[in-house]
């Protein structure tokens, strides 16, 4: 065995003792051997940490040592051999220690012959098996046993050992130390018989579960109690208090991961030195005086108790280790922290501390580990940290520190870990850091450090992690950064570096280099070829050129990121790269056809290819990338038919050909691609019938084919798409009735059939599960007729608010999460939908997972608005405009408390506007125009924000905001009907989403925000964004020229 195996346990005491044994010398002088002084018999054999690495033969002379009373073989490696049966011959043994020695197999029955045993340690021998009979015989015979340690771990043993309350274990009245790890006992709970071992002083029980018995509190002589790692253990509050009251001699108490759910203990042993209550569901408030009792306390671990609140305590001068990480403790660090003069570990990671670090922190001169990460600290780092000369770990990441990092690290020569990430530090790189010769981790990312890096460094021999990303560092990156012998990943992205050192030494260690989003310009930096084992290279978002004649060879390169680099051609050096797995050259200026040499490359390992957002033209060539999983060619100018050879890439999970000029029919073989999960063909010129997708596959999750010229019906083969979540066939020429059979797709969330030639009534739903997860339904601009599908609405479970969920809670949880499919490459495909905003087709590039919409506008639906719509209490957008609906507006619509947009315009609705509609607190847009509504317009909440356009064309409505006064017959002030030209007669849905409604509305709905955010995300031009939405704002309308007004009657 290697020395490393032993050194982790034995340190400097590990050496091969048997090598000193020489038969020419008296064996009593050998290392590890002790003899009886009277008769010379060997009585002690201590070969622990002796690097023994072979099995023990049953006939070994070891078993002839009949006077032996102590045998210690701990911390060796006996290569998973069995304990010899001959062990039973050592009848005089009193102490047997075989721990940490990699014995395996069944514990021999003969071990029970050792009736004089006082201590037996078989801990950390996880391959040992113990049968019930041997176990009980051992305990029955070992009447003098004082120490027992069994950490057996073969849970595959067919018959586990019982540990019932009457077990012989609890008859060992001399036992003072019991150490059991439960992987083989049953029942797995701690028996109440434990309370009979009244002489116990040390008790360690690991991996038991169930309720800790009250009888454990009878063990009043305990000095140490360790029930840690009891992930399934429960300790009730009363038993906990009784334990603490009775254990007056307790020095060590470790209950980490035990579910206590108790207030902070107050009455503890005055002798207590070590207290570990990590992740025990402690609750309550920690006061300044919490640590004053007991004064003997040296170690206190209260971390991972998020219900624990309060402030930092006053001084306990003996405290050496304090861990209150991941708690709710808050406030400022007091100046008195400097009085913790013995402290060597302080962990406040993930708390709620704020304010600045006091200068008195410099008085903790014994501290070796200081972690204040993930708090709300502000201000500067005090220069007094230079006094902490024993510091090995300093973590200040993820706070709000500002100012310059003090250049005082030359005094902290023992530092191994230094982390300042995610703060607001400014100024230059602190040069004294580079003198720390023991440093192995340096994190300075996500700050505002500026200026160039120092040209030389002396700390590079042990540094294995360096992160300088997300700063304002500039200039040339010095060569030492690339020559760190232990660094395998180098994140330098999101800086302002302008160049690399001209000469770089050969570095076989560095595998990943990220220079994304810097200011590199000019020719590709050829010095990078000296990084001979470079596996991943990211030069995206720079301005580099790659000349055809450049001699660039990366023999190990697998991941290459060159997006947004202003490239005008395919990089020719790719011909020399044979191991590509991931290639992204999207968002460049590459134009023309895909070259033959590129499509002909035999990249057998290529799994990800992104050529999107370029100016590629011509036909799609045949690729030979048979391992390809992700192919993205969107936003190019590719044309012609889609070759059937694309189906040869059978491992494809995503195929995105959207926003091109592909034409003709789609190859039917796409329906046979078993692993395909996303098919996006939107905005092309495909024709013919829809392919029989899912004919031989059930993996498809997203199908988007809108904006083509597909005809015919929806293929019934979609019934096999069991995983389908998004189906968008909008804006084609599909001629079919409503595909009611889609209701069996239980995962379907988005169904868009808009702008086709669908016709006829929507059939009722006869099954219990009918579109249960559907959240977005768009059937607009078709020829559907008949009554609105009341029964189907009642089955939209995803649009029904859960019982007991109040509106306030619902809206407080509106955190924007989006529908997406994550890939194994760290990228994701985000689902998107198109909305018509006042005649503009706007593609929302991301769809919130809680957006719920129904758009049935511009059809021939008739009859009344069904009351089942009122059950959809999580609905945000409802558009029923441009139909032939009659009857009153149901007052129950007011129950849709989360509704943000309601469009019932261009129907034949009658009666008054229900006052109950004013209860919709989030309503940002309302359009009831062009109906036959009468009476006064209700007032209150959102209704006070709507203008004339919301009510126009209802001649008998009166009251504000209309100029017609209620109670008069004067019609001279009745507003003109909203006459529209043919191209404006489509739904006015969303036309009310204006800056004005945002400013004066009582609330700003998420849908409105999502639309605006998506526009900004897509165009990244706030000026355009403002101008565009300014065009949507309601201005004073001029009367349009009279044309044939589209009006269904």
Mean pLDDT of 598-620: 95
Which band of pLDDT confidence, cut at 50, 70 and 90, is reported for residue 468? very high
Which of 470, 394, 852, 834 has its CA nearest to residue 658?
834
In the predicted model, is pLDDT for residue 371 greater than 80? yes
Q: Mean pLDDT check: name the lowest of 120-129, 362-371, 986-995.
A: 986-995
Mean pLDDT of 481-489: 92
In the predicted model, is pLDDT for residue 106 greater than 80? yes
Which band of pLDDT confidence, cut at 50, 70 and 90, is reported for residue 814? very low
Yes or no: say if 923 and 901 are a contact pair by the CB < 8 Å rule. Answer: yes
Q: How far is Cα of residue 914 from the mean position of the Cα atoms in its chain?
A: 46
Which band of pLDDT confidence, cut at 50, 70 and 90, is reported for residue 816? low
Mean pLDDT of 222-230: 91
Determine phi and psi for 62, rounding to 5 degrees.
Answer: -55, -40
Mean pLDDT of 951-975: 76
Half-sphere exposure of 731 (CA within 13 A, CB side): 16
Which of 419, 465, 421, 414 has its CA nearest to residue 435?
414
Yes or no: say if 833 and 757 are a contact pair by the CB < 8 Å rule. Answer: no
Which of 298, 434, 287 has its CA nearest to residue 366?
298
Task: Quote the pTM value.
Answer: 0.80
- pLDDT, position 697: 66
294 cis-preceded (ω within 30 degrees of 0)? yes
Mean pLDDT of 103-127: 91
- pLDDT, position 185: 65
What's the DSSP call for residue 737? B
Q: Mean pLDDT check: name the lowest of 147-156, 177-186, 541-550.
A: 147-156
- pLDDT, position 595: 95
- pLDDT, position 1044: 34
Yes or no: say if 624 and 642 are a contact pair by the CB < 8 Å rule. Answer: no
In the predicted model, is pLDDT for residue 136 greater than 60? yes
- pLDDT, position 231: 80
Question: What's the Cα-to-Cα distance from 626 to each of 599, 602, 607, 699, rounded to whole Å?
Answer: 12, 9, 8, 19
Strand 95-97 versus strand 104-106 pairing type: unpaired
Distant-in-sequence, close-in-space partners of 85: CB < 8 Å, separation ≥ 6: 58, 108, 109, 110
Task: Considering only CA atoms, give the Rg of the chain.
Answer: 38
Mean pLDDT of 724-745: 94
- pLDDT, position 12: 58
- pLDDT, position 609: 97
Q: Which two tokens stand for residue 648?
A: 């040869």
CA dihedral 805, 811, 816, 821 (to 10 degrees): 20
Q: What are the DSSP calls for 288-341, one per residue?
A: TTTTSS-TT--EEE--S-TTEEE------TT--EEE-TTS--EEEPPGGGGG-T
In the predicted model, is pLDDT for residue 990 greater than 60? no
- pLDDT, position 980: 38
Element (H, E) at 793: helix 790-793
Question: What's the Cα-to-Cα distance from 372 to each of 261, 398, 467, 711, rounded to whole Å?
Answer: 26, 9, 19, 63
- The rounded percent of the chain whose pLDDT value lies above 90 is 60
In the predicted model, is pLDDT for residue 917 greater than 60? yes
Yes or no: say if 810 and 850 are a contact pair by the CB < 8 Å rule. Answer: no
Determine phi and psi for 808, rounding to 5 degrees.
Answer: -60, -40
Distance CA 965, CA 937 (A): 11
Buried b (16+ CB within 10 A) or exposed e, 35-48: beeeeeebbbbbbb
Furthest-apart CA atoms within the chain: distance in Å = 131
Mean pLDDT of 555-578: 93
In this predicted model, which residue has the larger pLDDT, 288 or 138?
Answer: 138
Q: Which two tokens stand for residue 67?
A: 């006077």
Which band of pLDDT confidence, cut at 50, 70 and 90, is reported for residue 507? confident
- pLDDT, position 182: 64
In the predicted model, is pLDDT for residue 1048 greater than 50? no
- pLDDT, position 1049: 35
Which of 172, 169, 183 has its CA nearest to residue 135?
169
pLDDT tens digits along 374-399: 999 999 999 999 999 999 999 999 99
- pLDDT, position 807: 44
- pLDDT, position 152: 63
Which band of pLDDT confidence, cut at 50, 70 and 90, is reported for residue 1015? very low
Bridge partners, 956 (sequence order)? 934
Q: Mean pLDDT check: name the lowest of 329-333, 792-796, 875-879, 1028-1032.
A: 1028-1032
Mean pLDDT of 1027-1040: 35
Distant-in-sequence, close-in-space partners of 29: CB < 8 Å, separation ≥ 6: none
Number of helices and strands in the chain (H, E): 9, 71
In the predicted model, is pLDDT for residue 558 greater than 80? yes
- pLDDT, position 9: 54
- pLDDT, position 14: 76
- pLDDT, position 126: 76
Which band of pLDDT confidence, cut at 50, 70 and 90, is reported for residue 796? confident
In this predicted model, which residue has the larger pLDDT, 58 or 680?
Answer: 680
Which band of pLDDT confidence, cut at 50, 70 and 90, is reported for residue 79? confident
Q: Which two tokens stand for residue 647?
A: 């189906």
Mean pLDDT of 845-857: 83
In this predicted model, which residue has the larger pLDDT, 102 or 382?
Answer: 382
In the predicted model, is pLDDT for residue 993 greater than 60? no
Q: Mean pLDDT check: name the lowest of 311-325, 407-421, 459-473, 776-790.
A: 311-325
Half-sphere exposure of 982 (CA within 13 A, CB side): 2
Which band of pLDDT confidence, cut at 50, 70 and 90, is reported for residue 1035? very low
Which of 429, 438, 425, 494 has its CA nearest to residue 456?
429
Which of 36, 102, 41, 114 has its CA nearest to residue 75?
102
Q: Mean pLDDT check: name the lowest of 286-300, 313-327, 849-863, 992-1006.
A: 992-1006
Distant-in-sequence, close-in-space partners of 826: CB < 8 Å, separation ≥ 6: none
Which band of pLDDT confidence, cut at 50, 70 and 90, is reported for residue 845? confident
In this predicted model, which residue has the larger pLDDT, 478 or 161?
Answer: 478
pLDDT tens digits along 631-647: 999 999 999 999 999 99
Bridge partners, 615 (sequence order)? 591
In this predicted model, which residue has the larger pLDDT, 594 or 765?
Answer: 594
Distance CA 979, CA 811 (A): 37
Average pLDDT, the chain: 85
Domains and CATH numbers, the chain: 3-187 (3.80.10.10), 283-451 (3.80.10.10), 799-804+819-1032 (3.80.10.10)
- pLDDT, position 1024: 32
């Amino acid at each position: 065995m290697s020395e490393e195996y032993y050194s982790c346990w034995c340190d400097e005491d590990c050496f091969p003792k048997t090598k000193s044994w020489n038969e020419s010398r008296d064996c009593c002088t050998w290392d590890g051997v002790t003899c009886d002084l009277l008769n010379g018999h060997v009585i002690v054999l201590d070969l622990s940490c002796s690097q023994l690495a072979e099995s023990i033969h049953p006939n070994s002379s070891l078993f002839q040592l009949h006077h032996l009373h102590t045998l210690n073989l701990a911390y060796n490696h006996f290569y998973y051999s069995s304990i010899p049966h001959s062990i039973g011959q050592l009848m005089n043994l009193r102490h047997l220690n075989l721990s940490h020695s990699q014995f395996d197999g069944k514990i021999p029955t003969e071990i029970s012959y050792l009736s004089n045993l006082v201590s037996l340690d078989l801990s950390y021998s996880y391959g040992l098996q113990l049968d019930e009979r041997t176990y009980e015989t051992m305990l029955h015979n070992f009447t003098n046993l004082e120490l027992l340690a069994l950490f057996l771990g073969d849970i595959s043993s067919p018959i586990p050992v019982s540990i019932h309350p009457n077990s012989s274990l609890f008859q060992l009245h001399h036992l003072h130390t019991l150490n059991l790890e439960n992987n083989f006992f049953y029942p797995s709970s701690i028996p109440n018989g434990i309370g009979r071992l009244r002489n116990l002083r040390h008790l360690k029980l690991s991996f038991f579960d169930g309720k800790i018995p009250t009888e454990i509190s009878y063990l009043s002589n305990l000095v140490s109690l360790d029930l840690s790692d009891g992930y399934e253990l429960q300790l009730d509050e009363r038993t906990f208090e009784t334990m603490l009251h009775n254990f007056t001699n307790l020095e060590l108490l470790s209950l980490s991961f035990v579910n206590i759910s108790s207030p902070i203990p107050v009455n503890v042993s005055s002798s207590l030195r070590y207290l570990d209550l990590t992740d025990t569901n402690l609750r309550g408030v920690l006061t300044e005086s919490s640590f004053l009792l007991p004064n003997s306390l040296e170690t206190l671990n209260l971390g991972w108790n998020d219900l624990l609140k309060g402030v930092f305590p006053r001084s306990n001068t003996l405290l050496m280790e304090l861990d209150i990480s991941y708690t709710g403790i808050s406030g400022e660090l007091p100046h008195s922290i400097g009085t913790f003069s013995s402290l060597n570990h302080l962990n406040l990671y993930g708390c709620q501390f704020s304010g600045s670090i006091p200068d008195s922190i410099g008085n903790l001169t014994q501290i070796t580990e200081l972690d204040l990460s993930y708090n709300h600290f502000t201000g500067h780092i005090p220069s007094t940290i230079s006094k902490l000369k024993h510091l090995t770990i300093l973590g200040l990441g993820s706070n709000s520190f500002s100012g310059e990092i003090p250049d005082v690290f030359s005094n902290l020569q023992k530092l191994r870990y230094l982390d300042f990430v995610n703060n607001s530090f400014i100024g230059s790189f602190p040069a004294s850091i580079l003198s720390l010769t023991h440093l192995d981790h340096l994190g300075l990312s996500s700050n505002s450090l500026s200026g160039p890096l120092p040209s030389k460094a002396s700390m590079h021999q042990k540094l294995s992690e360096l992160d300088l990303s997300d700063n304002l560092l500039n200039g040339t990156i010095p060569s030492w950064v690339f020559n760190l012998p232990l660094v395998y990943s180098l994140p330098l992205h999101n800086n302002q570096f302008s160049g690399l050192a001209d000469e770089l030494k050969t570095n076989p260690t560095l595998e990943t280099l990220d220079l994304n989003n810097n200011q590199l310009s000019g020719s590709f930096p050829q010095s990078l070829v000296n990084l001979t084992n470079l596996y991943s290279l990211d030069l995206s978002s720079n301005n580099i050129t790659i000349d055809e004649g450049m001699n660039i060879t990366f023999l190990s390169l697998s991941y290459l990121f060159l997006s947004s680099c202003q490239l005008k051609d395919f990089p020719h050096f790719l011909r020399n790269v044979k191991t590509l797995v991931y290639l992204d050259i999207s968002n460049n200026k590459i134009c023309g056809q895909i070259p033959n040499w590129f499509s002909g490359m035999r990249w057998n390992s290529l799994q990800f290819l992104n050529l999107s957002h370029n100016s590629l033209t011509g036909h799609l060539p045949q690729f030979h990338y048979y391992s390809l999983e992700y192919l993205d060619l969107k936003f190019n100018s590719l044309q012609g038919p889609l070759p059937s050879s694309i189906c040869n890439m059978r491992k494809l999970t995503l195929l995105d050909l959207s926003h091109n000029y592909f034409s003709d029919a789609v190859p039917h073989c796409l329906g046979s691609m078993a692993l395909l999960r996303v098919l996006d063909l939107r905005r092309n010129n495909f024709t013919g019938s829809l392919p029989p997708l899912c004919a031989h596959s059930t993996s498809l999750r997203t199908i988007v084919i809108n904006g083509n010229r597909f005809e015919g019906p929806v293929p019934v083969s979609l019934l096999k798409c069991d995983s389908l979540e998004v189906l968008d066939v909008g804006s084609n020429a599909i001629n079919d009735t409503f595909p009611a059979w889609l209701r069996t797709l239980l995962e379907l969330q988005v169904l868009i059939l808009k702008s086709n030639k669908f016709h006829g009534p929507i059939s009722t739903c006869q099954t219990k599960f009918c579109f249960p997860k559907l959240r977005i339904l768009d059937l607009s601009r078709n020829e559907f007729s008949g009554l609105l599908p009341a029964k189907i609405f009642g089955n939209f479970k995803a649009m029904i608010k859960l019982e007991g969920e109040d509106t306030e809670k619902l809206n407080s949880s509106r955190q924007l999460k989006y529908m997406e499919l994550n890939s194994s490459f760290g990228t994701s495909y985000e689902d998107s939908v198109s909305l018509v905003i006042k005649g503009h087709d706007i593609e929302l590039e991301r769809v919130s997972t809680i957006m719920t919409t129904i758009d049935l506008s511009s059809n021939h639906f008739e009859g009344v608005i069904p009351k089942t719509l009122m059950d959809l209490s999580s609905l945000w957008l409802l558009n029923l405009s441009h139909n032939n609906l009659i009857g009153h507006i149901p007052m129950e619509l007011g129950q849709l408390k989360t509704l943000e947009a309601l469009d019932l315009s261009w129907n034949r609705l009658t009666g008054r506007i229900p006052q109950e509609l004013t209860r919709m607190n989030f309503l940002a847009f309302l359009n009831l125009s062009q109906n036959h509504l009468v009476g006064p317009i209700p007032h209150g909440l959102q209704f006070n924000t709507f203008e004339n356009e919301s009510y126009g064309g209802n001649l008998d409505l009166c009251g504000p905001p209309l100029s017609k006064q209620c109670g008069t017959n004067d019609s001279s002030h009745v507003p003109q009907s909203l006459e529209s030209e043919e191209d404006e007669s489509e739904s006015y849905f969303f036309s009310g989403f204006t800056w004005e409604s945002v400013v004066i509305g009582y609330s700003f709905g998420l849908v409105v925000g999502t639309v605006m955010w998506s526009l900004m995300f897509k165009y990244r031009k706030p000026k355009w964004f403002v101008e565009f939405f300014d065009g949507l704002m309601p201005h004073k309308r001029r009367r349009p020229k009279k044309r044939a007004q589209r009006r269904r009657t």
